[in-house]
Structure formats: C-alpha cells, structure tokens
Structure 1
Amino acid sequence: MGKLLCDSSTVAETFQSSSPTVAWRDPPAKSAPLDEDPIEALDLVDQSTADAWDAVLGLEDQQRRHLQRLHAKGVLWKHPEEDDSSLPQKSMVFRLSHGGEVSSDGNCLFTASHKAMMAAREVDARELRRRTVRRFLEDYGSASVEERDVISDVIRHLYAPDLRAGWGIHVIQEVKLLAKKDERVSLDSAIDELLQLGMQRELAAESIYKERCIPVSDGPSWAKYMLISGSPDDEYDIITLQYTEEGLLTIDENREGHAAAFGDDIAIECLATEFKREIYVVQAHGSDAMVDEENCVFFLPHRPRTRICEPPFFLFMKGTGWCGAGADHYEPLIAHPLSFVSQEKVAMVL
C-alpha cells in the first residue's frame, strides 16, 4: 500500500535550502527546447501490439479508455535540466504499459519501483527502502534547524496529527507509534497492571503505548518508521491508534509484526534523489470523482533534489473517488521508449 497525503511540491520545498552553506539542490537549470533534441531511440515494442490495459482489473471504462490512449500515442517527457546534463537525450516519448500486480503488504512503493526501474537483481525492494532512508538521513543531516522544523511539521501532519483539528477533512485519523520488538513483553505487563486497576483494555493499551512508544513526529523517527518492512529483522513494530472525532476507535497492535511502513511523498522524493530520476505517480480516478474522461488521469511529478541524470520512471495508482478511495496501492508502469513523435501527436506532454 502507499500513502499520498501531502502535496509533493510542499515536501520538495521543505528540502530546499535557503542557506548558502547547504547544497540541497544544484543551481537552477534551463530546459532544452524540443526542436533541438530529436531522439534517435528505436521502438522497443511493436506499435500494433494489443494493449495490455485490457487485462488490468479494477478499472472503469473511462479510466481504461484514457490509459489506452496514453499507451497508443505515448507521453512526451522534456528534460528540465540544462544542456550539459549527463543524460544525452533531452526529450523522450514513452509508451506506458501496466507492469503487473505487486503484493499489498505495505512494501508496494518499493516493489513497484523495483519493477518500474527494471533494477538489477541485487537491488531488491528492501534495498530500495534502505537506500531511500539513507538518502533522507544524509539530506536531513545537512539541513538547517529551520528546514528540519519544517520537515518535522510535515511528518507530524502525516503520522501524529493534532486530534483537535482536521475533522472537516477526515472521518478517521491515525497516530503511528513505534514499539521496540524486544520491549513488547514489558509493554504487555504494563497494560495488564492497568487492567487489574479496572481500566478498559483499549484505553489501557492507548495509555501505555502513548507513554512508552516513539511517535512518528520528526526526521529521526520517520527514518525508523520507514525502515520497517514487516520482517522479523525489523527493530520496531508499528502500533496504529485510530480515532474518530468522538475519541479512540481502535488499536492495531500488530502483534505478529507483519505491518510495513507505507511509502509516502517524502520517500518518493528521496528515492528520486537517490537515483537522480524524476518519478511520476500516474493516478486514475473513476466516475464518482466527478471528473470527465479527459481529466480522470493525473501525472504527479516528484523531482530529485539533484541534477537529473536518468530518464523518469512511472508508478500507477487507481482510485475510485476524488479523495483517493482505493488509491493507496502502487503498481509498476513500464515505460517503453519510442521513436521521436512530434509534440502535437503525443497524448500528453509532461
């Protein structure tokens, strides 16, 4: 599953440095004009190949038609960096095909990215997760105090929200806590002590977890959280407290330790930075989102904080409503480079 709860542009801004001593981003670059940069790549797939979108489950007719049109005509990506970039081709046309299902185990951002990137076998989804967190910590460590405060505000909004606010937008809000695996027995003992005093089970658990576990509320705690893949090797377990406006709804105590940290916009930007590539999340909304067919597919860009040296890769999310109902799972898109097509003939210019 995935998480797209904050504007990626906001996250990007939090990582940009206003201090001349911290090199968060290379100097602004100029985009290369399209007519100066014809691509010479050959088609990797036959233009007449049957569209694989017919076999993708869970799509409405308007979503499928729009995605088939993107597949048939291609999308044009223009390199946003300056002419001396290490990427030789400044404009590329891609045909986007669905890359197949991936497991809904909380690791889908990294599993889907691995497939979409067509990464080497030795770089598996868990390694992508580790590299994402390492990149975040390196960049976070070089940030100013003010920048870290902004980043922490974003993280708190995602994982430790103010339960006095936000109810005009959300029906249920979640608070994420981290429990050390080797402390679960002592946590249970403390909960049992409160039960013996007559406290209700969920209220006792809420009290102990909030007192003794780590809230995901800043950069270091986000890094601990994002490393969790649901493996026995994880240092922490994820505890999830769910609230309605009336109070505590339920607690997911994750006693088997299988819960993984869902990828979010911060993770996507760090992944983009690590590999010096743009990442586009292609989100398709259904008819209940009150959008017409021409506007039912969105391309959400995530820019790296360094010079772009590789072509972009693409991830897919399919939703059934404007608020993203059902759109919490990433799937891979395979981008096939095509022969040069004029800007007027492609389905979309990114």
Structure 2
Amino acid sequence: MLASDMDARGLRRRTVRRFVEDFGSVSGEEREAINDAIKHMYSPDLKNGWGIHVVQEVKLLAKKEDRVALDSAIGELVLLGMQREMAAESIYNERCIAVNDGPSWAKYMSISGSHDDEYDIITLQYTEEGLLSIDENREGQAAFGDDIAIEFLATEFKREIYVVQAHGSDAMVDEENCVFFLPHRPRSEICEPPFFLFMKGTGWCGAGADHYEPLIAHPSSLLSQEKVAAVL
C-alpha cells in the first residue's frame, strides 16, 4: 500500500510495526543504543542537561481505563494535606509506564489521539528548581513524531526523509531565519525519491515544533547552497 493511500493512523501503525520488527532483530548493542536514545528523550536524568535545556519533560503512559482510579488516588493524597501537583507527580510516577525503552516507545508512538487508544500521555515538566507543571492530557492528544519514528517511516517506504526545520527571529539561535536540513535515511536500501517535511521551530526553546507539513519538491537546475532554501 502506498503512503498516499493511508490515513495518519495507518501511517503511525505501520511505522510502529516496522520499529517493533526491526527492534526485535537488532544486536544487543544496537538495542541498548536505541533504548538509551529513547530514555534520553522521554525519561531524562533530571540531574543533568540544564546547561542546554530550560525545561525538561518526562513522558508517562496512563491506561485510559485507569484514569478514574488514578484521580481517586491523587485525591486521597490531597485530603492528607499534599499539594495536588505533588500528589499527581507521585501517583503518576508510581503507577504509570515510563517511556524509557523500545517496548514503551512503541506504546507511546501508537497513541493517535483517538478514543480507541489504550493509553493517555502524561507529561511532567521540570525546571532545574523542580516540578514546573503537569499536563494530564484529558483530551487524549496524539504522540508527536520524533527522529526515531521518522527513521522507521523512511525504512518502511525505503525512501529518505528530509526534515526542513526553520526558526524565525524569535528563536534562541544566533542568526535570524535559520533553516536546517535534517536527513533521515532508511535502515535498508533506498528505492524511491525522498520525502520532504517542513517543521517550524517554536521560539521559546528554538528546537521544538507544533507539527510537520509535507513539502512538494520539484527537480530544478543546480543552485548554490545559499539559494536552495528559497526554492523550497
């Protein structure tokens, strides 16, 4: 089936399936490297990284069917005198699944924002001083695609995927209107022309984004590196 024949949920499922199949067949050393990358992104060591990040996030997975029980447990701690955010942090850390390895990443990336999802994403945001806020995600938002997902999407369709990441003048970078080209090669042979995805960086951290948008690229004559972004 072609990518153009699938909806977003179908592409997500296909990407996760490719990841699970490949993750199960890689060497122990490579599996450990993938687990380390996932842990770094979603379960970071909060003792480190503050020279780079102002805010760090910890992602947890709460089963939808457990939300009432989780709320009840949080409420019990509040009745004992604990602040609600502290109570929620304690209960979520104790009872939810941390996204820190391949199997938990597959559960996380399978979340499409549908009522049929098995899990909700809980996000704990921290500054160097401690807990900043908790996004309890009552609306059931989808997991945002990351570099791992894009790599396995590229692998599934045997096509390179280039993320064209743009930052405006409000981003925390030295120059205005910066554009970066981030290649993602498939883990197998390349059989088709590449995809291009546009990602607009958000200014508060200069690295995040709200969503990806497809770019339609056309063959063109050779250009200097300074002009290629203008053509896209």
Instruction: Tell me the TM-score normalised to structure 2 length.
Output: 0.89
Query: Is the partner of 2:196 in helix, strand or coil?
Result: strand
Correspondence for 1:297: 179
Correspondence for 1:134: 17
Q: 1:326 to 1:140 in 2, by over 3 A?
A: closer
Correspondence for 2:98: 215
- Show CA shifts across 1:85-119 (max 9, x none): xxxxxxxxxxxxxxxxxxxxxxxxxxxxxxxxx94
Counting strand residues as a fraction of each chain, which structure ranks higher? 2
Q: Displacement of 1:307 after TM fit?
A: 0.6
- Show CA shifts across 1:293-314 (max 9, x none): 7xx3221110001110000010
Identity across aligned pairs (percent)? 77
Choose from 49, 58, 63 the match for 1:175: 58
Counterpart amino acid of 2:187? R
8 Å contact 1:178–1:237 — kept in the other structure? yes
- Show CA shifts across 1:206-247 (max 9, x none): 111100000000000000000001110000000111111111
The correspondence of residues 268-347 of structure 1 with structure 2, limited to 5 A, is 268-287=150-169, 289-291=173-175, 296-319=178-201, 324=206, 327-337=209-219, 341=221, 347=227
Correspondence for 1:13: none
Correspondence for 1:7: none
8 Å contact 2:202–2:210 — kept in the other structure? no
Instruction: Tell me the TM-score normalised to structure 1 length.
Output: 0.60
Whose radius of gyration is greater, 1 or 2?
1
Q: Displacement of 1:329 after TM fit?
A: 2.5
Deviates more, 1:281-290 or 1:242-251: 281-290
8 Å contact 2:167–2:176 — kept in the other structure? no
> What CA distance in whole angstroms lies between the structure 2 residues aligned with 1:248 and 1:154?
23
The correspondence of residues 128-277 of structure 1 with structure 2, limited to 5 A, is 128-257=11-140, 259-277=141-159
8 Å contact 1:285–1:322 — kept in the other structure? no
> What CA distance in whole angstroms lies between the structure 2 residues aligned with 1:180 and 1:320?
30
- Show CA shifts across 1:98-143 (max 9, x none): xxxxxxxxxxxxxxxxxxxx9433x111100001100100110001
Root-mean-square deviation (Å): 2.4
Q: 1:327 to 1:238 in 2, by over 3 A?
A: closer
8 Å contact 1:226–1:261 — kept in the other structure? yes
8 Å contact 1:284–1:297 — kept in the other structure? yes
Structure 1 regions of 5+ residues with no counterpart? Answer: 1-117
Higher RCO (C-alpha 8 Å, min separation 6): 1
Q: Displacement of 1:198 after TM fit?
A: 1.5
Count of aligned residue pairs for this structure pair: 226
8 Å contact 2:125–2:132 — kept in the other structure? yes
> What CA distance in whole angstroms lies between the structure 1 residues aligned with 2:92 and 2:195?
39
> What CA distance in whole angstroms lies between the structure 1 residues aligned with 2:153 and 2:125?
29
Structure 2 regions of 5+ residues with no counterpart? Answer: none
Query: Is the partner of 1:136 in helix, strand or coil?
Result: helix
> What CA distance in whole angstroms lies between the structure 1 residues aligned with 2:13 and 2:63?
19
